[in-house]
Chains A and B, each alone.
Chain A
Amino acid sequence: MKIREVTLSTTPNAEAVADLRLGDIIYLDGLIYTAREGVYMRALEQKANIPMELPSQSAANFHCSPAAVIREDGSFDLGAVTATASFRFAKWLPEWMAKTGARLIIGKGGMSSKDYNEYFVPNGAVYLSTVGYGTGALLGRGVETVEAVHWHEELGIAQAMWVIRARRMGPFIVASNLQGECLFERENAKISENLDRVYEGTKPAVLKRYGETDDRSDEVIG
Chain B
Amino acid sequence: MISLDLIQTTAETLMDKAAIEIPQDYLDGLRAAAATEDGDLSSFVLQAMLENYEAAKEDRRAMCGDTGVPRWFVKMGNDARVEGGFVALEAALRRATANATTGVPLRPNRVHPLWRTDHNNNVGIGAPEIEYGFEPEGEWMDLITVHKGGLFGTDYRMLFPSDGIEGIKRFYLDSLVAFGKRGLACQPAIIGIGLGGSKDTCMVLGKRASVLRTVGSRNSDPKIAAMEDEFKELGNSIGMGAMGFVGKNMVIDCNIEVGYCHTGGMQMSVHAFCLSSRRAVARIFPDGRVEHRTDPNWFTDYQRRETIEWDPAREAAE
Flag whether A80 is at the interface (Cβ < 8 A): yes
In whole Å, how far is A18's beta carbon from the nearest beta carbon of chain B? Answer: 22
Chain A 9-52 near chain B by CB (<8 Å), digits 1 or 0: 00000000000000101000000000000100000000000000
Output the least CB separation between A10 and chain B (Å).
18
Cβ of B160 within 8 Å of any chain A Cβ, yes or no, is yes
A220: nearest residue on chain B (CB-CB)?
Answer: B178
In the bound complex, do residue B177 and residue A135 qualify as a contact, i.e. CB atoms below 8 Å apart? Answer: no
Residues of chain B contacted by A199 (CB below 8 angstroms): 170, 173
A133:B181 contact, CB within 8 angstroms: no
Task: Report whether B184 and A67 are in contact in the complex, using a CB–CB cutoff of 8 Å.
Answer: no
Q: Is A54 an interface residue (CB 8 A)?
A: no
Q: Do B105 and A171 touch across chains, with their CB atoms under 8 A apart?
A: no
Chain A residues near B19: list those with CB within 8 A: 67
Interface residues of B in 56-88 (CB under 8 A from A): 56, 59, 61-67
Interface centre among B169, B183, B184, B234 (most CB of A within 10 A): B183
- Which residues of B, 217-253, contact A by the 8 Å Cβ criterion? 234, 237-240, 242-246
Given that A134-B186, A203-B170 are known contacts, is A80 also in contact with B275, CB under 8 Å in the complex?
Answer: no
Say yes or no: B177 contacts A195, CB within 8 Å: yes
On whether A205 and B163 interact (CB within 8 A), knowing A132-B186, A156-B120, A187-B244, the answer reads yes
Interface residues on A, range: 35 or more
* Chain A residues within an 8 Å CB radius of B120: 69, 156-157
Q: With A138-B52, A184-B182 in contact, do A1 and B102 touch (Cβ < 8 Å)?
A: no
Is B311 interfacial (CB-CB < 8 Å)? no
Question: In this assembly, does A221 line the interface, its C-beta being within 8 Å of a C-beta of chain B?
Answer: yes
Which residues of chain A are near B182, meaning CB under 8 Å? 109-110, 184, 188, 219, 221
Knowing A65-B107, A191-B240, the reply to whether A137 touches B152 (Cβ < 8 A) is no
A191 pairs with B243, CB closer than 8 A: no
A11 to B169, CA, bound (A): 48
21 pairs from A and B in contact (CB 8 Å cutoff)? A67-B19, A69-B120, A79-B61, A79-B104, A80-B65, A82-B66, A110-B182, A132-B49, A133-B243, A136-B52, A137-B62, A140-B55, A156-B111, A184-B181, A187-B245, A188-B244, A194-B239, A198-B173, A199-B170, A216-B177, A221-B182
**Chain A residues proximal to chain B, CB less than 8 Å:** 1, 3, 23, 25, 38, 64-69, 77-85, 108-110, 129, 131-141, 156-159, 171, 173, 184, 187-188, 190-191, 194-195, 198-199, 201-207, 209, 216, 219-221
